[in-house]
Amino acid sequence: MVSAKPSHENYSDLLSQIRSGQIKIPQFQRDFVWTINRSAALLDSVIKGYPVGTFIFWKTDERLRSVKDIGGDTLPEPPEGQYVNYVLDGQQRLTSLYAAIEGKSVKRESGSIDDFSKIYVNLEASEHDPIVTEEHTGLAEGSYITLTELLNGGLGIAKKYDKRYWDVIEGHSTRIKSYSFPVTSVSSAAIDVATEIFTRINVGGKTLTTYEIMAAKTYDEKQDFDLTVKSSEISDRLTQVNYETIPEITPLQLIALILEGECKRETILNLDKGDFIKTWPDAISALESAVDHLRSSYGVAASRLLPYNGLLIPFAYFYFANGGKKPNANQAKLLTDFFWRCSLGGRYSSGLEGKLAQDRSRIDKIIASESPAYDWPVDTSPEFILRNGWFTPSRSFAKAILCLYASLQPRSFDNNGIVAVGNAYLKQANSKNYHHFFPKAYLKKEGFSLVQANNIVNITIIDAHLNKNTIRAKAPSKYMKDFKDSNPNMDQTMASHLLDDYKPYGFGHDDYNSFLQKRAKRISDELQMRIVPQQIDAGGQAEKADDFDPEGEEFE
């Protein structure tokens, strides 16, 4: 049960605990943003005895990633095993007190520097006027004193001022030093509870992400482990192979699946820090092997082509549990079946965490070269492909077909060069890499609806410059004639787009319906070669591959 114990601390006790590292600001807190003026107003309230709110600390012996510097001071780590008070509420006020009383210079994110030693106490001010201020222009020389001098100067400083101010200086100093700051110390709380408390009293109810909490929880200076640094390193490496859009939570889900067999939020947050750090290197190696596998085996040349980001996790689990070894021939066949079943069958459209836990068992069977049983069917018939072919790059079914296209290394119509596929070109449906073989503008003139025109069967992946500068709204019979004249290897080019033996496909006569039927059959044939048939596949399939419904879309 969580214990919340109220108490009081004076400013010297608070500052002493900050200096010793006993009070820490966890990294998930936002940056210090208070201005000098606002900090002066806080000290003005203190000097007048006004309430300034309660500090809420989480008292724990856990070590989180925390802010190391305040006002240029590098704060120490407390001895191992000693408790730490992490600030859940009051970070801006506490940092203001520290910076103002210590007279620190604070460097902002913009690079500007605010000098908190430039906070003054007006010795002439009444209790109805601002006593503590950042502005001393207009005050007579000798009628104001810096806050740091007031608190740290002693009698020697006071004697520099007119005798009539001595009692004022002493009174203001005493009021600040004796001010009783209310503190609530939360103890016996797990990290997810502590961060829930933080969420409720800060940032307008915006929940901290699992990643933000784990970045704080798993930080270990002795082992040189900083999740934010490690994640940045992974991101840099994945960017080099066009996988920069992988979510930062993915490695955490993978490690939870490895260690606990499931990857729910609470499971991740309850992972043992030592186990997490120990597992990290091999898990990341497995993740990178999975990326290589998806790119080389299934045409997922860029992460935006992944039907589901979650697909990386079972494949990474395979490499981890298989000792980092590549799949043998039988394992490769079963993994291929798994990939296309998940991608075409809408596997991770909902309930990702629960389904990943189930699929870990399936991957274990594949490692043992045993075919898993599946409880969802997959339909690769031409009719199903056409019926569910509405094209938008966010749909898993459409992405699966795009992966098929990409796996064949599509070649450029004009010169037979291999088309480069990267995330910069795959984000939107109007990307110039996505070419409607029968252009939508042409089909609109011919009386076809948008639903008929915007079908994945009508999509090819080509170079952007062809779409923009050459093809535009021309009929296929016209623009393909021009390309055939310039491309002596047209047969190879067309085969790379599943348009081999292309003459009967209908576009010589601009027959769109014939084109759709023949290419859907060709796509179906390719997919069937990648699926290991199961009895459930013969039992029928839903009318739709996923929840997307194109009704109501307007013709572009």
Residues 379/383/389/390 CA torsion (nearest 10 deg): -130
Q: What is the pLDDT of residue 427?
A: 46
253 near 229, Cβ under 8 Å? no
36 near 136, Cβ under 8 Å? no
Q: What is the pLDDT of residue 137?
A: 86
Q: What is the pLDDT of residue 254?
A: 98
For the chain, residues with pLDDT lower than 50 are 427-430, 552-556
Residues with Cβ within 8 Å of residue 160, at least 6 apart in sequence: none
Q: What is the pLDDT of residue 492?
A: 93
d(CA 471, CA 413): 10
Q: What is the pLDDT of residue 159?
A: 78
What's the whole-model pTM score? 0.77
Rg of the chain over CA atoms, in angstroms?
33
pLDDT tens track for 77-105: 888 788 999 999 988 999 999 999 888 88
d(CA 98, CA 102): 6
d(CA 291, CA 302): 9
99 near 79, Cβ under 8 Å? no
Residues with Cβ within 8 Å of residue 264, at least 6 apart in sequence: 256, 353
User: What does the buried/exposed string (b/e) look like for 394-403 if buried means 16 or more CB atoms within 10 Å of the residue's CB?
Assistant: ebbbbbbbbb
Tokens 């966890």, residue located: 26
pLDDT tens track for 135-175: 888 889 999 999 998 888 766 777 788 888 888 989 999 99
d(CA 534, CA 351): 23
Q: Which helix (H) or strand (E) holds 253?
A: helix 250-260
Label residue 96 exposed, middle or buried (CB < 10 Å: 0-12, 13-18, 19+): buried
d(CA 85, CA 541): 57
Q: Which residues pair with 115 in a beta bridge?
A: 105
Q: What is the pLDDT of residue 245?
A: 92
The closest of 40, 32, 14 to 68, measured between CA atoms, is 32
